[in-house]
Each structure stands twice: as structure tokens, then as C-alpha cells.
Amino acid sequence: MPVGPGDVEHIAALAREIWLAHYPDIIGIEQIEYMLRQRYAPAIIRAELQRDDLWWDKLLLGDDIMAFSSYFLSGPGEMKLDKLYVRQESQRHGYGGMLIERTCRLAQERGCSRLVLAVNKNNRNAIGAYRKYGFGIRDTAVKDIGSGFVMDDYIMEKRLQGQ
């Protein structure tokens, strides 16, 4: 279901919880804090919710947000899954797959033939999960994100049915 303005603070807090649990050994605390400020400040999320070409979804279990995703049109025939995070205790229950399937449906409705994402080359659990859902490695990318930090990623792609 779509993230609404009332969810912004909760999404920002959940992102912090997930990143601090998952990424310290991959990118370190300093880069985590930098990227959380860049990508999950409530004002940034609110601005993204206003865009017509970018979507945020949440997955609820009862009243609690267990997972969230964000995706946008990134080029002709292509949608980018920009964010996909599941609470650590809720992983391996198919919640990430549910959000991927929703993103695939929306991408197809908008005429996209592929879904792409970037994942840190050392994020082995996520890479394995994405492979399980039909993604393959298309390319690599090293991107300077400022303040001496880089993102060293695989670009993964999933071909969408019927496009």
C-alpha cells in the first residue's frame, strides 16, 4: 500500500533501524549516517511523495510497517527499484518479494520491460534474494556520493513478462 504523509517519520526511523542493523560491516557507521541524511531525512521523503514519477510503498503486518520500497521511472522502458528494506526479524517471509511483485506490476502498467536496481557488491544476502526473484547482474558502478564516500554496486536487472 502507498506510503502517505503520516508515515514519513516512521519510515525514516525504520530506515535508520534497518541500516544500523545491516550495513556497519559493509559500509561503516560514518557512511550510514551520511546516506541516511541524504536519502531518509523526513523532508526528502515528503518531497519524493509529491512527485508523479516516483512511488513509495509500505507493507503492514497489523499496524506495523515491516517493509518499504521506493521506485521511479529511470528511462525509456525502465523502472528503478531504488529502495527495498525489510525489518531484520521479518526477513525470509516473502515480504520483499511482495514489494518486488507490486513494483513489477506498476512498471508493466507504465510500459516498462525491465526493472533495475543497484546493490552494494558486498551485500551478499540482498544479492542472493534478488537472484531468487529473477534479477541478474547487468553491470557494475562506482559512484562518488560526496564527503569521500562511494557506492560500489552491482546493477541488477529483471526482465518483465509480456513487455
* pLDDT for residue 12 is more than 70: yes
Which pLDDT score is estimated for 90? 74
Domain limits for position 139:
5-159
Residue 141: which CATH number?
Answer: 3.40.630.30
Q: Which amino acid is at 130?
A: Y
Total domains present in the chain: 1
Q: What's the whole-model pTM score?
A: 0.92
Question: In angstroms, rounded to a whole number, what is the distance separating the alpha carbons of residues 8 and 102?
Answer: 20
CB 120 within 8 A of CB 153: yes
**pLDDT tens digits for 25-48?**
999 999 999 999 999 999 999 999
What mean pLDDT value characterizes the chain? 95
